[in-house]
Structure 1
Amino acid sequence: MQTSPVKLSYPAELAEPPFTLAQIKAAIPASCFEPSVWKSLSYFFLDVSVISILYAAAYYLNSWFFWPIFWLMQGTMFWALFVVGHDCGHGSFSKKKWLNDLIGHLSHTPILVPYHGWRISHRTHHQNTGNIDTDESWYPVTESKYKQMAWWEKYLRFDLALLFVYPLYLFKRSPERPGGSHFHPGSPLFKPSEKWDVLTSTACLTLMIGLLGFLTYEWGWMWLVKYYLGPYVVFVVWLDLVTFLHHTDPEIPWYRGKDWYFLKGALSTIDHDYGFINNIHHNIGTHVAHHIFLNMPHYHLKTATEAIKPILGDYYRKSERSVFSAFLRSYKTCHFVKDTGSKVYYTPKSELEKG
């Protein structure tokens, strides 16, 4: 059974953007670009406080009726803490690098994210968003590559590991990119000058794993499952789901060669509304503004988004679907892009049957 082509909600063939990066920036209040150390720290301490309260509740109740609820809530808070570290990695937490690095490590190390290793590869993603050849994460495979993939490769990439791929990415990087670990300073991801940053984060992560190992030795594997692995899995699902939603959509164009430049790539993402979760995971759904101005604190992104909408017009994309509906739509229709063309869109695998 063949599926009909996806009907785009936005014009598929928009001309070159009739505005510049400077014009977009001029529409945003200057205060949106100014981080507040105290406000940034308040989000960090709020997240840590909620995480602590949830741990206390789980210890007190110690009930299998509560553990699944705890995993969902605590995993969501792990994700919120990741977003705080995400601001640190972009330098939008504060103007003080040492404070960004300190809070970044305190936010990311407990959830097994190598702060500097991730920060550097994430910088590459932002510098190349929407570029099929150089983007770092969640970029599409080509039609010819898709045809060559074994059934189990397709199953792993598009089904089984879709929302659990992040830990593997830290060790193996993305498919079709030169192999590289986020933990090794000799990885192709890093410059020689970044060696000690990478080693510092790897050392912090090693200490965290050692601590988890010690606590598991003292209290058993069930302690690890109940208090850490459950929330960690939920956190990984959140991270992969959000990244997938904002960069995998049949309405998002991808570019090759000279047809790509930073602003067009930054516009190749889509906003999503997560309902009440918006206020928990720090407005990460305002992804278009974030990609255009990555050094903007998360608590200014909603204001900035409203300011740039009149400028962007049809170039601003926001899903009108629920998160679940948007995920299913992209899951069913976003499999590969054509081998040729400077501007291409995701194509469903059903298109191969027509050939």
Structure 2
Amino acid sequence: MTSNTLNFNNQQALESQEESTNLPFTLGDLKAAIPAECFQPSVVKSMFFFCRDVAVIALLYAIAYRLDSWYFFPIFWIMQGTMFWALFVVGHDCGHQSFSKYKWLNDFMGHVCHSPILVPYHGWRISHRTHHKNTGSLENDESWYPSSESEYNKADFLTMLGRHYAFLLAYPFYLFVRSPGKTGSHFSPKSPLFKPSEKWDVITSTICWSAMVALLGFLTYQWGFVWLLKYYLMPYIVFVIWLDLVTYLHHTEPEIPWYRGDEWTFLKGAVSTIDRDYGFINHIHHDIGTHVAHHIFLNMPHYNLKKATAAIKPIMGEYFFESKQPIWKSLLRSAKECQFVPDTGKKVYYTYK
């Protein structure tokens, strides 16, 4: 069975829906504009990017071990953490079943990519599916959804810390306790995140995650906490910052609308994200900044997103959001201006005090 029948995004079902929308284009219009080959994953290409990332990670470890210099380690942490993030993006394709046409290979490679960087593959995959199926919905979105003004005004210290001040370190906490106002661990099959039929998927990924933790514990016992700090913990923190930075910026922008109730549709939500330019890092992290096309066509491999984007931009016109602003400026602007949305209204935008 191929990913065409098993793909969790159920793209064909979405295309068949007659959405009530005021957008001047349909999902079918956008798909028709994209070359058919963009939707076809290539095992050779996917494995190339995986092997390239692993080779760079191995090389960086070899250099760091060889030099063993505190002058080099800060550089190593930034570079290796960035490569951890690149490896996550390859696993992200696996989660979308766009690494290959074979579900067993996608899930196997997803564990290979995600377990070493302490991501429970299936637990993440399933909650990420919820995010993609409900992007832009104030009630049902899973990731980086805004607070209402009244929620913002009564938020406690920890909620404010996680949402507005230390949000670039939020991901590990999200895995264990989810987002404010929602409950459920990514490690427990009894979590409300999961269906009963997904029990063994969740258990499998939790076992893989636990095995990696146990390995790190053993190596720390053998070589000490300083070894863990130098070779794993600091690159992991950089990886978490990258993950939170990119996902935050793709869904947190003053010009992007959010929807309540029956005003929301899949296509409205899918186009309510933004492409970002990360400069020279674009290719290193597999052009993950091409985010609009990814949200519209969830099962498209990352290496075809730029071609697809070029095809749909003329059709989408003003509904295609992109920013060429330096990332640090975008981050400061969003952190300042994207605090909450109004308590009322079916189509709302971020605002601030």
TM-score (norm 1): 0.93
Report whether the alignment pairs 1:345 with 2:349: yes
- Per the alignment, residue 298 of structure 2 pairs with 294
Match of 1:312 among 316, 319, 341: 316
- Per the alignment, residue 251 of structure 1 pairs with 255
1:155 Cα deviation after fit:
3.5
Report whether the alignment pairs 1:142 with 2:148: yes
Q: Distance in 1 between matches of 2:198 and 2:158?
A: 36
Instruction: Structure 2 unaligned segments of length 5 or more: list them.
Output: 1-20
- Per the alignment, residue 173 of structure 1 pairs with 178
1:154 Cα deviation after fit:
2.0
Match of 2:124 among 95, 118, 121: 118
Residue identity opposite 2:240 in structure 1: V
Give secondary structure in 1 for the equivalent of 2:303.
helix
Q: Distance in 1 between matches of 2:35 and 2:339?
A: 39
Give secondary structure in 1 for the equivalent of 2:322.
coil
Report whether the alignment pairs 1:325 with 2:329: yes
Q: Distance in 2 between matches of 1:192 and 1:213?
A: 32
Q: Distance in 2 between matches of 1:316 and 1:155?
A: 32
- Per the alignment, residue 182 of structure 1 pairs with 186
Contact kept, 8 Å, 2:161 with 2:167, in 1: the verdict is no
Give secondary structure in 1 for the equivalent of 2:140.
coil
Report whether the alignment pairs 1:164 with 2:164: no
Q: Distance in 2 between matches of 1:113 and 1:201?
A: 8
| Deviation per residue, 1:60-91 (Å, 9 max, x gap) | 00000000000000000000000000000000
Q: How many residues align?
A: 333
Give secondary structure in 2 for the equivalent of 1:275.
coil
- Per the alignment, residue 203 of structure 1 pairs with 207
Residue identity opposite 1:249 in structure 2: E
Give secondary structure in 2 for the equivalent of 1:154.
helix
1:151 Cα deviation after fit:
4.5
| Deviation per residue, 1:146-189 (Å, 9 max, x gap) | 11113553244211x21000000000111112x10000000000
1:16 Cα deviation after fit:
1.5
- Per the alignment, residue 5 of structure 2 pairs with none
Q: Distance in 2 between matches of 1:208 and 1:316?
A: 41
Q: Distance in 2 between matches of 1:222 and 1:196?
A: 36
| CA RMSD in angstroms, aligned pairs only | 0.9
Match of 1:222 among 217, 226, 233: 226
Match of 1:77 among 77, 83, 86: 83
Q: Distance in 1 between matches of 2:81 and 2:35?
A: 34
The list of structure 1 runs, each at least 4 consecutive aligned residues, that deviate by more than 6 angstroms after superposition, is none
- Per the alignment, residue 194 of structure 1 pairs with 198
- Per the alignment, residue 3 of structure 2 pairs with none
The percent of aligned pairs where both chains have the same amino acid is 68
- Per the alignment, residue 274 of structure 1 pairs with 278
Report whether the alignment pairs 1:43 with 2:83: no
Q: Distance in 2 between matches of 1:141 and 1:153?
A: 10
Residue identity opposite 1:126 in structure 2: H
Residue identity opposite 1:123 in structure 2: R
Contact kept, 8 Å, 2:162 with 2:170, in 1: the verdict is no
Q: Distance in 2 between matches of 1:224 and 1:305?
A: 41
Q: Distance in 1 between matches of 2:303 and 2:180?
A: 33
Give secondary structure in 2 for the equivalent of 1:163.
helix
Contact kept, 8 Å, 2:122 with 2:202, in 1: the verdict is yes
Q: Distance in 1 between matches of 2:159 and 2:47?
A: 43
Instruction: Structure 1 unaligned segments of length 5 or more: list them.
Output: 1-14, 351-355
TM-score (norm 2): 0.93
Residue identity opposite 2:48 in structure 1: S
Q: Distance in 1 between matches of 2:200 and 2:342?
A: 41
| Deviation per residue, 1:186-207 (Å, 9 max, x gap) | 0000000000000000000111
| Deviation per residue, 1:2-41 (Å, 9 max, x gap) | xxxxxxxxxxxxx821111001000000000000001100
Mean CA deviation greater in 297-306 or 145-154: 145-154
